[in-house]
Structure 1
């Protein structure tokens, strides 16, 4: 393998989607890692804890000696083989630990001992993480943003799917952003979400410097928080309002939250268990907003949803879902949205349907790029 230098060119690593070895302990990696990384730890969680205790009580040298005792013999050979196998498969990659210090240097030296020279990321995970957070804060403050708003079901995500100059926050968060927005696969960790957001901004900057569109979001998308700097910038940016008739909105909500979401559950859990899990999730999601709905209205809409789910299960007929969808839109989501938008009227630049918004945004970018 041709020797390559260590690097602190974090942008180049992230733009190239470079394969990465993360040598931190599993408990550290579970909280968040770098994109395109795999956790091949130098030490297990238990081994790391023992070394850390030794370091506090007896100092660095004794901790290093203990680490070499714990990771030796066949165990050491197994870990070195995992790193070298990865390096052979991904000769363009890098290795890192938390600060680019002892763990990654030890791992790299052990790889060298068996004839494989693999470069480090200087500064390690901490430095790349700092780079991404700074990038988000800088772009939040400096980049021209447009916020795509609109009532539930107008198809905001569909508009974003048709334009290049956007960042799909809900896609990165793996959540649709509503009370019913959780997907079958779990959301990323907060750190992984922020890292992915930083990389998305970095890649978008390579394509254009013009205005980008974001969907109007609260601070929370599911259980994930938008970075404060970005959320504050979104609260000041100009707004484009997407408007569509109720019939189309019902159709689009049915497609997203009935057809597609049910299919996700069935694909993941199987036919019967998947549908039952989907039905349970929908009823639970409705239950979580019962106080804001009002208990009487909640019971009425719950009855409609239960009827729709029963007909869906028994006859593969999804038509009854339209009743509870319309009730939720007109009695819950619309009043809430209209109130929120009433406080932002001075920021609204344009209103229109999906195609009109797409066409208007293209003209706006030509004028402001």
Structure 2
């Protein structure tokens, strides 16, 4: 094949699994913000080079910018061929894309096709993929038969979702995708949340692979998970779905949270910084008292008070209001927090499918 095949995203979508590689040639910054599922990043211009060429377009002229850009692109493509592609067989079929399906992906696709590989270039680039996600994610959400796992903070909702997944259930774990536990103290140490676009892409990718004839289990999230907003149609359909109410004793809830927030147990300074977010709700005196508990290692007392005075009242106020089928929820009692306890409840849920 002398020239790459140019296909729209609607043509490419049913064939995504057929490509041996999906190559995003945009800059690392663009790739980090969002990219096609399973794509690898082989930038033909890195972030600094992209800024340099773009500045020349604006401040000098297009011709001078294209000369500099072409030299950089050729050098970078050569490096990628030497580093990533020399071992690829003749029938290796990559899908290549950039922002709009223009010069960056065209350059890479042209050279690889001239070598002899059956290259496909995405017409419209990442922009066409993003338009598809925006259009079809609400439609997919409407086809999902949700089962919402409800329960107070520390009742084991996330752990039950993980157990359901291990048992073969279809699960959308929004907190895992968002890299956040969903509460004011839910940020994960040394792990930044993804961009809003990547969050939505991962939800789209997860949902599109599900069997719509089977239920999908999800946690009773609020509209935001950390700094990320759950797509409108996803949260709306979730909130109208049947619910399962998970119950766990207070002592087990405290123990579970001590395990899941071990980073705060080890680092009370980090916990105290987060507690400042609650000053407007509980006042400086109460927050100072809670900080003292953290500094003195009285974590169980602190967790108990946070549950009783903050998390449980917030949950009680919001659950009936936001999840309309919660009053008819099936009640599930966890006998403890061992793996076997969660497996027992998961099997009980799945037996009703």
Specify which of 227, 230, 233 is matched with residue 229 of structure 1.
233
| Partner SS state of residue 351, structure 1 | strand
User: Structure 1 residues 256 and 44 mapped into 2: Cα distance closer, same or farther (>3 Å)?
Assistant: closer
Residue 214 of structure 1 is matched in structure 2 by 218
Q: How many residues matched?
A: 335
Structure 1 residue corresponding to 2:209, chosen from 203, 207, 210: 203
Structure 2 counterpart of 1:239? 243
How far apart, in 1, do the equivalents of 2:323 and 2:56 lie?
Answer: 61
Give TM-score, length-normalised by structure 2.
0.82
Check if 1:193 corresponds to 2:199.
Answer: yes
Task: Give the C-alpha shift of residue 71 in structure 1.
Answer: 3.9
- Cα pair 2:145 2:216 within 8 Å, conserved: yes
Q: Where in structure 1 are there 5+ consecutive unaligned residues?
A: 264-274, 309-319
Q: Would you say 1:321 and 2:325 are equivalent positions?
A: no
Where structure 2 has 5 or more consecutive residues not aligned to the other structure, the ranges are 335-341
The answer to whether structure 1 residue 179 and structure 2 residue 184 are counterparts is yes
Secondary structure of the corresponding residue to residue 340 of structure 1: helix
The equivalences for 1:10-89 within 5 A come to 10-13=13-16, 19-52=21-54, 64-72=66-74, 74=75, 77-82=78-83, 84-85=85-86
Evaluate the alpha carbon distance shift between residue 249 and residue 304 of structure 1 in structure 2; reply closer, same or farther with a 3 A threshold.
Answer: same
Between the aligned partners of 1:222 and 1:16, the Cα distance in structure 2 is 36
Would the alpha carbon gap of residues 336 and 262 (structure 1) be closer, same or farther in structure 2, given more than 3 Å must change? closer
What secondary structure does 2:209 align onto?
Answer: helix
Distance 2:264 2:45 in 1: 41
State the Cα deviation string for residues 102-157 of structure 1 (Å, max 9, x = none). 22121121234445553323432222223333332112223221221110000001
| Distance change (3 Å), C-alpha of 1:117 and 1:82 | farther
CA displacement 1:1-60 (0-9 Å, x = unmatched): 9x99665332441x5796321111233223222232222222233443454456568987
Deviations 1:319-343 (A, max 9, x none): x421111111111111111111243
Q: Indicate conservation of the 8 Å contact 1:84/1:116, yes or no.
A: no
TM-score after normalising by structure 1: 0.78
Which residue of the partner structure matches residue 270 of structure 2? 281
Contact 2:4/2:109 (8 A) holds in 1: no
Aligned to 2:338: none
1:55-204 aligned at under 5 Å gives the runs 64-72=66-74, 74=75, 77-82=78-83, 84-85=85-86, 91-163=92-164, 164-184=169-189, 185-204=191-210
